[in-house]
Structure 1
Amino acid sequence: MTTLQDKVKAMSTMEGDQWIFSSNSLPSDPRLMATLANGYLGTQVYGDIFHVNGVYNGAGGNCHRADIPSPCFRLVAAKEKVLTETFALNIKTGTFIHTLQCPSFTATQQIFAHRSYCHLFVNIVTLMSTQGSHPVSVNLQSKFKIESPDLNLQEGPDFGEYKYIFGSTLQSETDSCPVKSIHMIWTPVPPSLELTGSKEKTWVFLTAVCETENNVKEKFDEGLTLIAEMQLYSSHERAWAEFWAQSCIEVESSLSTIQAVNGCLYYLLSSLPQLGYTGEFYGISPGGLSNGRSKEDYWGHVFWDQDIWVYPNILLFYPEMAKHILKYRIRTLKGALQNAQEQGYKGAKFPWESALTGCEVCPDSIYGDLELHINGDVLLAFQQYYYLTKDLDFFASAGGWEVVSSVAEYWCSRVVWSEEEQSYHLNGVMPPDEYHWDVNNSTYTNALVQTSLHFAIDLAVSLEHHIPDIWKDVASKIKVPYDPKIKYHPEFDGYEIGQTVKQADVVLLGYPMMFPMTIEQRMNDLQIYESLTDPDGPAMTWSMFAVGWMELKKIQVAQQQLEKCSANITEPFKIWTENADGSGAVNFLTGMGGFLQAILFGYTGLRIAKTHLSFDPILPDDITRLLITGVFYLGNKLNFTLYSDIITIEVTSVLGGQNCTLEVYFNQLEPRLPLNIGRPVSFPTRAGQVQLKETDSTCT
């Protein structure tokens, strides 16, 4: 009989550990434990708390993810000596596996947040005797207590043989926002498990977490049915397989590179709800859903990290998932409108730190008041979605236009006219470089103002809406600082070369903003700021320098920058820290998002433009092949296979109801290459673009 342990060993051997991060010991820093999440429910393995997406406690700057007690546990040998012990995170199935090998038995624990039944968290323990029917036992070590600093918990009547608690958060984010309720049913955890009279036995410990009593009972019953039908784990495994089957990144390179890519993609996907999800989603915080308790990992708030760093990777593969992120901004627009009004301006000012309502919840007001670039970051995500999907209905009837127009109104009310320079200025701001604040005309922020307004104007034309004259005027006359002598973009008015910069700032003009500039200007920006950026700054910074150098075909320089990212990856579970010294947020999705963008948009040269999806690949010597499967463009799913000298593009499917025929375009003097399902086209590595076939004028 093949045991679970045998299967894990076989899988690890066959796949060269590219999907399995294993160790014989746990990290000494508990912050670096593997995390399990499914977009609704998240926790650190062996942690004593759950977090639920959208459930916060505390008002204003004290708002943070509410701690919900978790009945999770760890296996500990009761009497026998442990021969071997392994801890493995299988990122292909989103499962953590703990194995204890003792002289007379093997104990295995599988832990997972169910990928498709998102209200369920599961522990499965299997004991297998290796010495006949000799009784064996294992202890279950748990820190579970029915208490929380964030919830007024009460014990309810038992749900059959299972335990039930409920309560609500103690304080809402704003006076107008109701408190959140939590209900939890779980399998009681005994002090130990004993195997007698048989060679093998399995126990299932089920937990359901919901926001109403009826729902939690319904979801727990669903879990019991899955157990009875022996479908609990297989349904979870199938849901993860569906994610990986739709889109994936295959890198032929070193094992460390492969694991870094796969690990980042796993943790990002874990922050999303299941495919086909129709409920409300409350955004992605820098530390993910498993982190964010009071005063840790940015309290679980949502920043620009979501829109600029994480979102593009999700959009390229899963536009329906990306739409959930945009819907979060639409639902919090009311709070953004209130923020602008409180500042004395029109339109919407999205909060620097956002939770449930869209009102500002940053604990330090200077960031919330001055870091205005968040508005442009949000709009850039909306713009990328529209260019990739041409989903005009989303803007016409689902609230997208209200966000776009409200941000445009804010910019136009916030700028001031300079008679001296005959341009609009944006004064008193903080750029992404938070080492400088209350500066005038942040280059990154002002470039976003122009980009936002150009998009708002174009969208208004498509929707046949009136375009205010002020939008056009500000878009054409907003000052974007530039030094014509050195031919670079100073970070803000009065910036002097030599001043240290915290993180990626001006370098973001080239990508992801695609702000117009010459090759010389782009190179100068990269060279100047690379030497001035704090080497101890946050993880995502170096990936953006890498993308810039790839644009300029300086692959060795790009690799040097990208290698700096590896300092932020911790062992054994590939958890990223915000800073290379281990400080800052952990499970830092922002750093992972930047790193993946260097793979998906750097090596490939992919750019989401208004009328096409361009590409311009370059691979380093240590990557012999890069396969990107499931790239979405105008209803088509495409695979890109890249070698140093050959590119292959193939349309693998067209979504139902879509009618967008694509082609590859190089220049006016060369024939276009039609892209049809199942008929890949190959050509020597070079720049080009995927676009709507010339004979097609619309996409339906």
Structure 2
Amino acid sequence: MIWTPVSTSVSLPSDQSQCSWVFLVAVAETSESAQSYYNTGLVLIATGDLCPSHLRSWTELWLGSSVEVVGPETLNRALIGSMFYLLSAFPSLDESAKPFGGVSPGGLSNGGKDEDYLGHVFWDQDTWMYPGISLFYPKLAKAVLQYRIRTIEGAHSNAQQMGYKGLKFAWESAVTGRDVCPDDLIVQQEIHINGDVIMAFKQYFYLTQDLEMFKVGRGSEVVWGVADYWVSRVTWDPANDEYHIKGVIPPDEYYTNVDNSVFTNAVAKCSLRFALELASHLSHTPPPEWQDIADKIKIPFDPELKYHPEFDGYTQGTNVKQADTVLLGYPLGMSTTPEVRQNDLEIYEAVTDPLGPAMTWGMFAVGWLELGEAEKAQELLQKCFKNIQKPFQVWSESADGSGCVNFLTGMGGFLQAVLFGYTGFRVQKECLAFAPLLPQEVDALSVKGVCYLGNKMDWLVKSTEVTVTVRKPAEGSGNKEPDALTVVLNTGTTIPLKPGQSVTFSRQPGQIRKRISRSYCWPL
């Protein structure tokens, strides 16, 4: 870090009605880079272009992507603020190819252990912040994956030290990927991080079809290394003809050393299935255990009460910390009946800690939107506003203002509730599915800059109709021509999408697909 010395006091000269002071800080990985950035800043100050250049850069970003509503001003400000802070924590687009150190729940380390998580990288990056950013910026999405790729050796060491094969990504990761979490029990048991990382890789592949990332960019090493880890981590239960994962901490960290965390097992199942899919793309022969475990891993379910217990032995009505089982529907996309989905939402909403982390209620909102209950969803989304402090839309981790500040994880969950809730966007194997639904207080939703298969799209969702416009090739599409797209509505209507033209149709579910494709979306 290089910085302008900050005076303890400043004085306005008596002969001037106004004066300004500028204090500059440059942060970089090397002293040479920091000095270069600092010198550039000094030049911008001297020419009066420091603030104007900043404004120009943000104007370009807002033109590239934005999420706004016609409706409550508080909701709109929260959305804009979330995008602003998340984009601030990721690399700039022109530096996205440079080594990236990941995003911590509070951004750069700025406080003590209980305030900002020491600047370490958790599942917060891959599960909570990444999905919204990846929908707009393939380059930034790729930078996140490349961070995980650079920590492969550390992940391999983590697995070996615990007596397992493959890759075990750190619960708290820094530069090397070796686990820097100060709590050994968490290091050993909070293993769902492995599946969370793979979900990010899968979403990137489905959005871009960038096989080179997996062929030569070492992406396949990550996906297959995690699959090998699950093979060595599961245990076989011959009595019930199923695989178990024992002794884990689920996303709900109120519990330790539990068996068959429903989220952990489900995300392991998803990552194994993606490993098999990727193997077919790359003509790789997968070990038969990948398929066998994916088919037979236990997903706890109570057939009488028709809901998913959080883990083996969970008692309905027992308090939970945060969104856990409700994540089965979104983001995991596990197929369940509407009755079971509703039961999961109702049962866990009633026992979720009101002072739990801020990203939780957005996931409940997504679930209710899936069920067509827009007003119920909005009621839960409103709980997020207890975590937002005016005037700068700063998020606290907990509703009472405690915990990490500025809590990027909460912003990521909130942004997803609108991006994937109001639109119904689901990034699937052969399509970008949608099922728009707005609460009564929102007249319209504008989502600009959605990137899919090399195309950049703008969406305008209203109460009765949807307009889609293909603007231009997406950032990061390279020299490859973007795939021609078409809207396929669930009613059977097909509408070609052409660059520079808008199409409008009545609000209903459908998919965006390659125009030449005859494929369909496959359930997870």
Distance 1:421 1:293, change over 3 A: same
Distance 1:686 1:494, change over 3 A: same
Compare CA radii of gyration and give the structure with the larger one: 1
Matched with 1:661 is 484
- Among 341, 346, 352, the residue aligned to 2:160: 341
Provide the rounded CA distance (Å) in 2 between the counterparts of 1:353 and 1:254. 37
Provide the rounded CA distance (Å) in 2 between the counterparts of 1:222 and 1:483. 62
Distance 1:403 1:292, change over 3 A: farther
Q: Letter of the aligned partner of 2:485 in structure 1?
A: L
1:236 aligns with 2:59: no
Distance 1:637 1:365, change over 3 A: same
Provide the rounded CA distance (Å) in 2 between the counterparts of 1:198 and 1:534. 55
1:447 aligns with 2:272: no
- Among 561, 565, 589, the residue aligned to 2:380: 561
Unaligned runs of 5+ in 2: 520-524
1:463 aligns with 2:286: no
CA contact (8 A) 1:661 1:696 kept: no
Q: Deviations over 1:591-636 (max 9, x none)?
A: 1111111110001100000100011011111100111000010010
CA contact (8 A) 1:285 1:305 kept: yes
Provide the rounded CA distance (Å) in 2 between the counterparts of 1:202 and 1:496. 61
Distance 1:214 1:549, change over 3 A: closer
Q: CA deviation at 1:185?
A: 5.0
Q: CA deviation at 1:553?
A: 0.5
Higher mean C-alpha deviation, range 466-475 or range 546-555: 466-475
Provide the rounded CA distance (Å) in 2 between the counterparts of 1:247 and 1:202. 33
Distance 1:674 1:381, change over 3 A: same
1:369 aligns with 2:181: no
Q: Letter of the aligned partner of 1:236 in structure 2?
A: H
Q: CA deviation at 1:233?
A: 2.0
Q: Letter of the aligned partner of 2:484 in structure 1?
A: T
Distance 1:294 1:434, change over 3 A: closer
CA contact (8 A) 1:292 1:301 kept: no
Q: Deviations over 1:216-247 (max 9, x none)?
A: 44333322333344322221111111111100
CA contact (8 A) 2:115 2:405 kept: no
- Among 387, 396, 404, the residue aligned to 2:223: 404
2:182 counterpart SS class: coil
Which structure's residues are more often helix, by fraction?
2
Provide the rounded CA distance (Å) in 1 between the counterparts of 2:198 and 2:243. 20
Provide the rounded CA distance (Å) in 2 between the counterparts of 1:628 and 1:683. 16
Provide the rounded CA distance (Å) in 1 between the counterparts of 2:360 and 2:160. 33
Matched with 1:623 is 442
Distance 1:575 1:659, change over 3 A: closer
- Among 228, 241, 244, the residue aligned to 1:422: 241
Looking at both structures, which has the greater relative contact order when contacts are Cα pairs under 8 Å and sequence separation is at least 6?
A: 2
Provide the rounded CA distance (Å) in 2 between the counterparts of 1:529 and 1:217. 52
Provide the rounded CA distance (Å) in 1 between the counterparts of 2:303 and 2:130. 34
Matched with 2:33 is 215
Q: CA deviation at 1:573?
A: 2.1
CA contact (8 A) 1:189 1:205 kept: no
Map of 1:238-637 to 2, 5 A cutoff?
238-277=56-95, 278-289=97-108, 291-637=110-456
Q: CA deviation at 1:200?
A: 5.6
Provide the rounded CA distance (Å) in 2 between the counterparts of 1:406 and 1:608. 23
Q: CA deviation at 1:482?
A: 1.2
Q: Letter of the aligned partner of 2:512 in structure 1?
A: V
Q: Deviations over 1:59-95 (max 9, x none)?
A: xxxxxxxxxxxxxxxxxxxxxxxxxxxxxxxxxxxxx
CA contact (8 A) 2:112 2:118 kept: yes
Q: CA deviation at 1:487?
A: 1.6
Q: Letter of the aligned partner of 1:251 in structure 2?
A: V
Provide the rounded CA distance (Å) in 1 between the counterparts of 2:393 and 2:241. 51
Which structure's residues are more often strand, by fraction?
1
Provide the rounded CA distance (Å) in 2 between the counterparts of 1:319 and 1:292. 31
Provide the rounded CA distance (Å) in 2 between the counterparts of 1:375 and 1:382. 11
Q: Letter of the aligned partner of 1:664 in structure 2?
A: V
CA contact (8 A) 2:114 2:403 kept: no
Provide the rounded CA distance (Å) in 1 between the counterparts of 2:16 and 2:348. 67
Distance 1:304 1:292, change over 3 A: farther
Distance 1:672 1:575, change over 3 A: same
Matched with 2:522 is none
Q: Letter of the aligned partner of 1:584 in structure 2?
A: G
1:192 counterpart SS class: coil
Q: Letter of the aligned partner of 1:268 in structure 2?
A: L
CA contact (8 A) 2:105 2:121 kept: yes
CA contact (8 A) 2:459 2:469 kept: yes
1:454 counterpart SS class: helix
Map of 1:179-198 to 2, 5 A cutoff?
184=2, 186=4, 189=7, 191-195=9-13
2:437 counterpart SS class: coil
CA contact (8 A) 1:292 1:300 kept: no
RMSD of the alignment, in Å?
Answer: 1.8
Q: Letter of the aligned partner of 2:427 in structure 1?
A: I
CA contact (8 A) 1:187 1:207 kept: no
Distance 1:586 1:203, change over 3 A: closer
Provide the rounded CA distance (Å) in 2 between the counterparts of 1:318 and 1:208. 25
1:317 counterpart SS class: coil
2:181 counterpart SS class: coil
- Among 494, 503, 508, the residue aligned to 1:672: 494
Q: CA deviation at 1:364?
A: 1.6
Unaligned runs of 5+ in 1: 1-182
Matched with 1:224 is 42
1:276 counterpart SS class: helix
What percent identity do the matched residue pairs reach? Answer: 51
Provide the rounded CA distance (Å) in 2 between the counterparts of 1:540 and 1:470. 35
Matched with 1:16 is none
Provide the rounded CA distance (Å) in 2 between the counterparts of 1:543 and 1:332. 30
**Please, what TM-score do these two structures have when normalized by structure 1?**
0.71
Q: Deviations over 1:407-451 (max 9, x none)?
A: 000000000110111111111111111112111111111111110
Distance 1:515 1:189, change over 3 A: same
Provide the rounded CA distance (Å) in 1 between the counterparts of 2:492 and 2:34. 61
